[in-house]
Structure 1
C-alpha cells in the first residue's frame, strides 16, 4: 500500500491461498482506504488504518478461482471465474450469480463481397471504419470450451465482462432486486488484412475500461490491439449484436524487427514477427498501408521515392510496390532469412545480407553486381555513405568494415572480438562511424581506430542513429529508453534519457 506521490510504502500484508497467487488488487471507488484482493481461492477485503492493512471481510462459502473483479457499488464487488461464473458479493455474501456460456461469433452475410481475405486496407486518421465488421463462426473451434471471465469493468448501469475470445457482454440492472440481465454482445471485427481472417477476431480481451462520461468503452487484447465502442445513449438504438472498431488503427502484435524512413516522403515502414508490413505517415499520424503475409518479416527498407520497399522474409527477399491501396510483390530474390537490407541514398542500388555476405543488386536491372565477403560473424547492420560510394557493416564477432563499392574491397576495418555489435550509424562528417553492441559502450570510430568510448552505465546500447546535422545522436537501450547525446561527444558523459518502450529498442 503506497503513497505514490511521496514514493512512500505505507503498509504490506502477506496473502496465502490454496491456488497459485493473486490476480487483481483494487481500491473501492468510494473509499481509497478499502482494498479488494482476488485470486485463485482468494477473496478478501482489507482496510488501511494506522499503518497496517487489516482484513475486514472474507468470502463465505465455496471459494473459486477468481480471474478478475470490479466494484459495482461502495459495498458490492462483481467477480469472474475461470469457469464462466459471475458473482456479486456484498460483505463476503453472495447476492447474485449466473453462468455465462462460451460464445461463438455469429455468422452474418458479408456486406462487402468484393473484399478478399488477405487484401489490404488503408486507414484514415482516427477512423478505422474501413475495417470490415463481418464475422463468421470458427468452424475449427471447440464449441464446448469452458468460458473464462478474463476481464470485467463496472459502469453506472451495470458492468461489462469478457467470457470468450473476441466478445464483451454488457449486463444491466433489471427491475428485479439484485438481478442483472445480459443486454448486448460486442464483437471484435475480423481483420481482412490478416493471413487468417477467419481467426483474426478470436483475440482474448484482457482489460476493459470506460471513459469518465461512460460514452466510450475501450478494450485491450492479447494481440496488443486497442478497440473502442461508443455506448448507446438510449435503449431504442441498442442492438443485441454490435462491433468494436480500432481505437486508431491496427498495431503490431509482435516484436518489430525492421524500421526505415523515406528520404522524399513523410513515411516510415515497419515489419514484425507478426508477419505484417506497415506504412505509416508521421505527418498525419496515420497508418497508410498494411498487409500480413505467410512468412515472418525480418527487415524492411524504403526506396528514396517512397514507391517501393524491400522486405526480407524467412524464405525470400521481396521487392514490393506501394500502390494507392495495395502492396504488390513484383520481384523476388533468392536470399533466405535476410535480416538486413538497405537501399542506397540514390535508390539505384540495394544491399541485402545473407549470413556473413552482403549482396549488392541493381534496382533497375535486378542484377547481382557485387558480393562483399570477409565477415566471420553474422552481419547485424549495413549503412550507405552519403555519396553511395562506400558501405559500412558490423557483425556479431566485433568487426566493423568499410567497403569500396567500385572495387568490392575493404578500405578500413576495426575489430574488437569482445563486442557483439548490434547497430552502426554514419556521421555526415567524413570518416566518422558510431557503433553500439554488447559491451555497454558507444564507440566513435575513424580510419580503423576507436577514437572515443562512452560508457552506458550498466545498460546495453541496442541501436544508434545520427541527426542530419551530425550534432546529435539518438541511442536505444535494452531498457526501452532513448538517450540523446551531443556531438562532439561530451566528456564526462552527458545525455538526456526518455522512456519510450517497455522492452528493448530494436531499431532507431
Structure 2
C-alpha cells in the first residue's frame, strides 16, 4: 500500500473500466478502489529515473506510462491483467522524457510529446513498436511543450500546446503535417488545455478563463472527386466525414484516414466561446454526456451543461476549500457519477457529479480521495515499534502526519508555522520528536492534536531518534550528537568527533 500522490506527472488521474482510480505515487502507478480502499500497483521500470506522463485509452483497457531514462521510454500495460504488453524506446523523441501521451480513438496509435531540448512529437504504431512519424512542435525560441491530444472525432488530428504555442497536425501519407487552427480574434498563445468531444469537436481552454468550441471536422484535406460523389455544381452538400468510422474499416484501406501529400490543409471553425465568469485560467477539461467540467486556478471547478441554443451553458461552480491551487487534471467515472480532481499540491478530491444539481456552491462538496497527502517531498520518516503507525514530516507544507498502515488512514495531521526538518516517534507511539528551524520539540500525541512537552535549543535538527526502549533520544546538533533522557529531557551525553555535519544516524537494537 502506498500513501501519497505525484502532481508533477502529466495527466495524473484517470478511471479504469472497473471504476478504479489510476494515479502515480512515487515510482509506481496505483489503481485505487474507493469502495474497498484497496490498491493494485504497477511498479516503474528499474532502469528509469521516474514517471513523467500517463495515458488511458478511450475503452479503458490500455495504460501507457512514460518514464525518464537515457532514451525516453513508454510502457503499455493491459489494465485488467496489469501485464506489460510493449516497451517503446526510440531516440526520435530528442529527449530523455515524454511530457505528454495520448491514445487514438481506436487505441492503435499512440502519440508522445517529447521534452527538452528538441520537443519532437512522435507518432507510434505501438503494437508493432514502430515509429510512424516525427515532427518538431516547438518554435524557433525553443519554448517548452507540455500537452498533446488526439481528436476523439478524427484520430488523424492531433493538437499540441506549449508555452505560448497552440498547433494542430494531421496524419497524412507522408507523416504529420501542420494544420491551421483558426480561433477567431483570440490569441493562440493563451491556450492552456484541450480535450476532444463528440461530433468531431475540440474544447480549448484559455488562460483568460474562456473555453472555445472548435469544429475540427472541417479541418481536413479536400478529397479528390469520386465516381459516386455529386458533381461540383450539385445542390447537395458535400460532407468530409466517412460513412463509417475509420476504425471499422479493415485494411485495406488503412485503419486511419490518410490523404494526399499535395492537398492543402484548411483551418478549424470556431463554433462558440464560453466564459467561466471568474477570469481564472482553465487548467484542465473533462467531457461527459451532459456537458463538460473545467478545472481552474484557486481550486475552482466549473460545470457546463448542454444547451440546445448555445451548445453549452455555465451551470455552476464549486471551490475545493483550503486548496487555493491549480486543478491540474480531471477524470469522470465510467458511470458518470463521480468526478476526480487532482491539484498541484499533491491532493486529489472527489465530487458526486450525479448530485451536483442539488449542491450549494458555497459549501465544501468535495471529499478527499484516499488520504490527505504531503504537498512536497517527505523530509522525515519513522516507524513506531509497538503500534501500526508511521510518522512523517514535510518541509514544503510544514506538516506532521501519523499514518495507520493497517487501517490505511491518516490518523493525525498538524500544520505548523515553522519549517520542519526531521521527526521520530516513540516506541509506544505516545510521543514524537520534531526538528524545527529554531528548536527541537518533544511532543505528546493526543487524539486529534500534538502538545509540546519540552523545547530544546537545537536549531535545524535534521536527524533525531529514540532508543529501542524509548528511555533516551538522540539529536544531531551540527557535528555533535546529543543524548537526552526522554522523561526528564536532561542531557546525559554528547558524542563528538565528526569533522562535518552528521547526516545520518542508526540506533542499536540492543
Per the normalisation by structure 2, the TM-score is 0.61
CA 1:245/1:15 → structure 2, altered by over 3 Å: closer, same or farther? same
Paired position in structure 1 for 2:300: 167
Corresponding residue of 1:481: none
Distance 2:276 2:183 in 1: 22
Q: Cα 1:252–1:238, aligned 2, differ >3 Å: closer, same or farther?
A: closer
- Number of residue-to-residue matches in the alignment: 332
1:144-187 CA distance string (max 9 Å, x none): xx5211222211111111344111100011131x4311112121
Q: Secondary structure at the match of 1:165?
A: helix
- Which whole-Å CA distance do the structure 2 matches of 1:41 and 1:312 have between them? 43
CA deviation profile, 1:340-370 (whole Å, cap 9, x unmatched): 0010001011100011000000012210000
Distance 1:165 1:15 in 2: 30
Post-superposition CA distance 1:109-162 (Å, at most 9, x none): xxxxxxxxxxxxxxxxxxxxxxxxxxxxxxxxxxxxx52112222111111113
Name which of 181, 188, 191 aligns with 2:320.
Answer: 188
The offset of 1:40, in angstroms, is: 5.1
How many Å separate the matches in 1 of 2:144 and 2:423? 42
Matched, 1:230 2:352: yes
Alignment of 1:121-136 (within 5 A): none
Q: 2:501 aligns with which of 364, 378, 382?
A: 378
Unaligned runs of 5+ in 1: 103-145, 191-200, 388-508
1:98 aligns with 2:285: no
Judged with a 3 Å threshold, the aligned counterparts in structure 2 of structure 1 residues 293 and 52 are, in CA distance, closer, same or farther, namely: same
Structure 2 match to 1:254: 376
Give the alignment of 1:260-299 within 5 angstroms: 260-273=382-395, 274-299=397-422
Any conservation in 2 of the 1:303–1:309 contact (CA below 8 Å)? yes
Q: Match for residue 206 of structure 1? A: 328
Moved more, 74-83 or 269-278: 74-83
* Aligned match of 2:452: 329
1:382 match: secondary structure: coil
Closer, same or farther: CA 99–23 of 1 in aligned 2, 3 Å: farther
The 8 Å contact of residues 184 and 241 in structure 1, kept in 2 or not, is answered as no
What secondary structure does 2:341 align onto? strand
Say yes or no: does 1:68 pair with 2:244.
no
Contact 2:338–2:354 (8 Å) recurs in 1: no
**Partner of residue 36, structure 2:** none
1:358 match: 481
Cα distance in 2 between the residues matched to 1:233 and 1:306? 41
The Cα of 1:238 is off from its aligned counterpart by: 4.8
Structure of greater relative contact order (alpha carbons < 8 Å, 6+ residues apart): 2
User: 1: distance between equivalents of 2:271 and 2:442?
Assistant: 62
| 1:436-475 Cα shifts (integer Å, max 9, x gaps) | xxxxxxxxxxxxxxxxxxxxxxxxxxxxxxxxxxxxxxxx
Given the alignment, which residue of 158, 177, 198 partners 2:291? 158
Cα distance between partner residues in 2 of 1:36 and 1:25: 6
1:83, CA displacement in angstroms?
1.8
Q: Any conservation in 1 of the 2:291–2:305 contact (CA below 8 Å)?
A: yes
Instruction: Report the alpha carbon displacement of residue 79 of structure 1 after superposing the two structures with TM.
Output: 1.0
The 1:364–1:241 alpha-carbon spacing in structure 2 relative to 1, beyond 3 Å, is closer
Which shows bigger deviation, 24-33 or 273-282?
Answer: 24-33
Q: CA RMSD in A?
A: 2.2
Q: CA deviation at 1:23?
A: 4.0
SS in 2 for 1:161: strand
* Structure 2 unaligned regions, length at least 5: 1-122, 217-267
Counterparts of 2:341 and 2:129, CA distance in 1:
30
For residues 385 and 22 of structure 1, do their structure 2 counterparts lie closer, same or farther at Cα, with a shift above 3 Å needed?
closer
Per-residue CA distance 1:163-220 (angstroms, 9 max, x = gap): 44111100011131x4311112121123xxxxxxxxxx31221111212222111111
Residue 34 of structure 1, CA deviation: 2.9
Q: TM-score, normalised by structure 1?
A: 0.62
